[in-house]
Chains A and B, each alone.
Chain A
Amino acid sequence: MESFVVRYRNLLVLLVLLVAQILGLAMQVRRASSGQADGGGVRLIRLWANGIVSPPERILHSTGSGVSWIWNNYFDLRHVRQQNADLQKTVDRLRLEQAALLEDAKQGQRLQALLNFQQKYIYKTVAAQVIGSSGTDQSRVFYIDKGKSDGVDRDMAVITPDGIVGKIRDVFGHTAQVLAINDQSSGAGVIMESTRIRGILRGNASGQLQIVDVIRDQRIKPGEKVLTAGGDQIFPRGLPVGIVDRVVNDPERDGFVDVVLKSAAHLDQLDEVLVITVTEPRFPPDQQQDMAASEALKSAEAEQQKTSDGMAEKLPGLLEPNLPTDQQPLNDTSNPNPVSKPPLAIHPDRFTPGNAVTPNVQGAPDGSQSPGAGSSESTLKKPLPPKSSTSEPHSTPETKPAKPSTPQGENR
């Protein structure tokens, strides 16, 4: 027996170990199936395993974190300086691009607004960009990129959708010089919107707009809109000029004031402007259609009027200016085709035609003083003559007097 154990010692130990573990498994499975927690031995094994493994794991974790930190913050930063320089260059380039894009976007918005205004504006305009200035504060002129080749000419008005800007002073091939309205040498006829006070707009020494030589008027208040008057042959009427900022006394003339304005157009931030090249009104197609229809209607009416006048000249009139009232064709009872009378009122009152016009007429027995009233009264009191009843049906006064006039003419 002893030799058997010694001989198969290894195998026996293996069997013991396997059987022990299988039994342990069976017990655990049985406890688990019955809903019980792990036994004390199993929990103890788990505790030992956890106690043995956890501290080194924690050390490894912290060491790994430290190594990771060293790697990330030292070894991995070898090329960071170069990357930083490259990124800085990229940031600079992107900032420049962003600024350019922003400028393009703003310009696009301005041009869009300008285009909208240009399309709606009734005068033909040419859009131009401001390309330069005089370079001094004393001279408020600037240059635009449109010139004679674009149809620009001297004394053309330069405007923006906000208001007037100035006028063309000199024209070159592809550029033009614009005299701004706030220059001291410029001038424009203006009118205040509500008070309708007219004046001449000039620029003062500080580059502000002012209406000069205005008779003192209490109605002129700050905030009032000022428009172009249209009398200077440069700026069309009704364009915005600015709003009244303040009223100052004219130091040289008593009783006169200078009205200082805030310009409607941003004269110091001009980028795009419009030059009015043709002052003939230019209407949209639908308006042109309406106008054509209106013209056609008007000409047809004129033609009709002309025809009517021609016929009236050919036909005798109802009233003969050379005859007295009682001998007028309308009152001629001998007329075989008398003019038809309005129907008689059943209950005449003072509103009945002929009754309330004048008391005298109403009191007249035969009504002979008033042709209309007299005829009404006579028609009311007397039956209509047989001729009248047998004559043609009622006819209009405009067409029928032609027949009665003929006998009268014959009578003459």
Chain B
Amino acid sequence: MISSGEASFEEINQIYQSRIDKINPTINAYISNTSSILDSKTNQSNDNRPLAGIPYAVKDIFCTDGIQTTCGSKMLEDFIPPYDATVVKKLKDSGVNLLGKTNMDEFAMGSSNETSFFGEVKNPWDILRTPGGSSGGSAAAVAAGIAPIALGTDTGGSIRQPAAFTGITGLKPTYGRCSRYGMIAFASSLDQAGLLSITAEDAAIFLELMAGFDPNDSTSSPEEVPNYSKFINDNLSGKTVGLPKEFFDGSLEAKYQDLISECIKVYENMGVSFKEISLPNIKYSVPTYYVVAPAECSSNLARYDGIRFGHRSDRTDNLDEFYKSNRQEGFGQEVKRRIITGTYVLSAGYYDAYYLKAQKVRQLINKDFLEAFNNVDAIMGPTTQTSAFKLGEKIDDPVSMYMNDIYTISSNLSGLPAISHPIGFVNNLPFGMQIISPHFQEHQLLNLTHKYQLETDWHLQQPEMINEAKE
């Protein structure tokens, strides 16, 4: 619309600004709204770059130069980064317009967005329910039409689970596909930046801009970035998709199973064939993750001492008390619990039994995937066990909350790319299908999802609040 002159840059920005004003107070998807910054930019209407003026939102875990970046924590409530995360910088250089920074679970630790210091996010389909987490603000913003696309991060399912709960598309790329520079670290061997969008096509366009090697992140991959949008229309016939029997062990309720079967039929009609596969060690994904992720978290979060940046307590008796007070006041319960768990599994006497053991099991889970991909092009299964649960339902029971990521965690352990796309509704709540690919095969995930989205319109359904806001 912008390039054809149908709407100006400012008009588009104004539309989103007014929608944010109407909808955000109800769902709390944004921590900060930055679209007013647009005024200071010059000559944008004359900008000929293809994405110039396209609005987008950024999870508040990505550093943004001169703009408050909280990571959902009191610890970073006043933190203003002096630089941009590489993915943000790359998008900025292509002329896209930052609408604001989205709410999230504190330090990305949580599956319901309830651990945010800035308040829970509400699911636009039912405001008594969670949008999922940790990228819940990004997911809710896109689902509620107050951002067309948003950046998220995924350490154990933090893009895919919220995408499934809010009826949108969520892509977690291969570990190392996008730079982690300037993305506040939680678990460094698992964290990856990705996208929450309405369509796979939008995700393809943005991923092309974000992906690639970054000298500032030595774990980013030098693998060439394909032209993702070129692959999305490829013919699907001849593709073989594996259905892990461990994902279909009877624990999924019939109403969800029916949606999965309908989705499989759509793919079959496009020439995809399905076969049962086995990932025998997949059931150990959750315990493995809850050793590895807290271990890395306890190490990464040691930097928050309150001295150079971050929350600083008024109680400054002595240095040791000073550190402890800064961290006691700055961190919420879930973050503290993970730091303590991580410290425990890494401590002398327990390292071999927990951390080393988990790393070995991680290898076994990875081998299961590598063997499966000898026989299939991709793997499919539900993204979550249920549709969005109620706010408050699981927050006091960490293990039940952790089990929520049962289908998504394994791809992080292996570093595999995965996508979730909507496949229907149960009681007016969206449900998602997950597709997992071999490393660096994002183009295949986008291709499968795009073709499905040409045949169906689940991804185009909108919650009632969008219409109400128009009135």
A and B: bona fide binding partners:
no
